[in-house]
Amino acid sequence: MLAGVLLAGALATDLHAGLAIVDPGIGVSGICADGRVVVGADDSGAIRWDGSAHAIPGGRIAVAANQDGSVVVGSMTSPPHAFRWAEADGLQDLGTLPGCTTSDAFGVSADGNAVVGRSICASGSIPWIWDAIGGMRSLGALDDATQGSARAISRDGSVVVGFSGTHAFRWTAQDGMQDISPALSADAWAEANATNADGSVVVGRYGSPGVGARPLQFRWTAATGLADLPSAEWGATSPGNALAIDGAATRIYGSLFMFLQDASLWSAASGTIKLVDYAQAQGLDLSDWMLDEVVAASDDGDVLAGIGTHRVGTAYVPASWVISGLAGPIFVDGFDSGD
């Protein structure tokens, strides 16, 4: 127990000092860009964690944070609205779109001034963007879709990504909502989950209905369109879900779905690999851990947050984790790939 306390303290004071893993004691949902604050929730509600847990009164769950963790967004308990919390101002109810009763916030820009999410109405759900000047505004819909959500915003606040109906979208104020999965078959679906610092790269998953069908991770750029993530072990595709990306778009994180679910890491040199293999090769002892999914990453890729299971005595119990010190190179066949 003492070792866990010391490790948490080390993370709080210098997240980039070296390889370490800790259970923050909350359900993790997001991480600030500099990696020093993790957000999520416990039984009491929304939490901001920096080595110690700090409650956000009135918040049900905290989902995302800005550059340094001084602004946090998520969902309130009552009323069930999106919130924006700032150290200087406290909790702010962002309300809902006209005609809606519920809203959730899922992303925030680096400066904390732009927030994105969804509003839920009787007719469906609508993706939105909020700022202090314009308030909450609908991002629209693709082909009159009745279900949609904004899932993330670029660090500079210029690009929003998410899904509308069965398609993934990328939105800018200049061009509006762009379908970035137009070539999918009629019965397929796609959703964008994250984007890099400037919004030029979008990641997520797509799939088709059917028994045993697995979603596949994708990476989108204007030059390549929607492209599969290859992997050495699984071939041209990576079954699973791409959930996070570093600021420079050199690494993509999420989970692999094969026989078991494994937290994953992609780079151009390595393809998609299991995070546990990479972290252990770097020297991190994970003998008491099973890593199921990466949910968030710092901009430099040095700090990751996710979910899995942790051995306590002879039993494995569900737990969240934060790993620091992972910004080293990807090695292929013993050589630095220089990715």
- So what's the pLDDT on residue 327? 77
How high is the mean pLDDT of the chain?
91
Determine the Cα–Cα distance for residues 321 and 246; give it in Å rounded to an integer. 18
Determine the Cα–Cα distance for residues 88 and 102; give it in Å rounded to an integer. 26
How long, in residues, is the chain? 339
DSSP letter assigned to residue 255 = E
Domain map of the chain by residue range?
Answer: 66-74+97-327
Instruction: Average the pLDDT over 16-27 and give the result.
Output: 87
pLDDT over 70 at 5, yes or no: no
Q: Give long-range contacts, CB 8 A cutoff, 24+ apart: 263-266.
A: 263/291, 263/292, 263/293, 263/294, 263/306, 263/308, 264/217, 264/238, 264/240, 264/294, 265/294, 266/217, 266/219, 266/229, 266/231, 266/238, 266/242
Instruction: Average the pLDDT over 305-324 and give the result.
Output: 95
CATH number of 66-74+97-327: 2.120.10.30
pLDDT (tens digit, 9 = 90+) per residue, 148-194? 999 999 999 999 999 999 999 999 999 999 999 998 888 899 999 99
Q: What are phi and psi of 325, to 5 degrees?
A: 85, 25
Which SS3 state, helix, strand or coil, does residue 28 take? strand
Q: What are phi and psi of 114, to 5 degrees?
A: -120, 135
Question: pLDDT confidence of 8, banded at 50, 70, 90?
Answer: very low
DSSP letter assigned to residue 123 = T
200 in Cβ contact with 249 (< 8 Å) = yes
Question: pLDDT confidence of 233, banded at 50, 70, 90?
Answer: confident
Q: How remote is the C-alpha of 119 from its chain's centroid?
A: 19
pLDDT over 80 at 144, yes or no: yes
Dihedral angle over CA of 39, 42, 47, 51, nearest 10: -70
pLDDT over 90 at 74, yes or no: yes
- So what's the pLDDT on residue 334? 40
- So what's the pLDDT on residue 208? 82
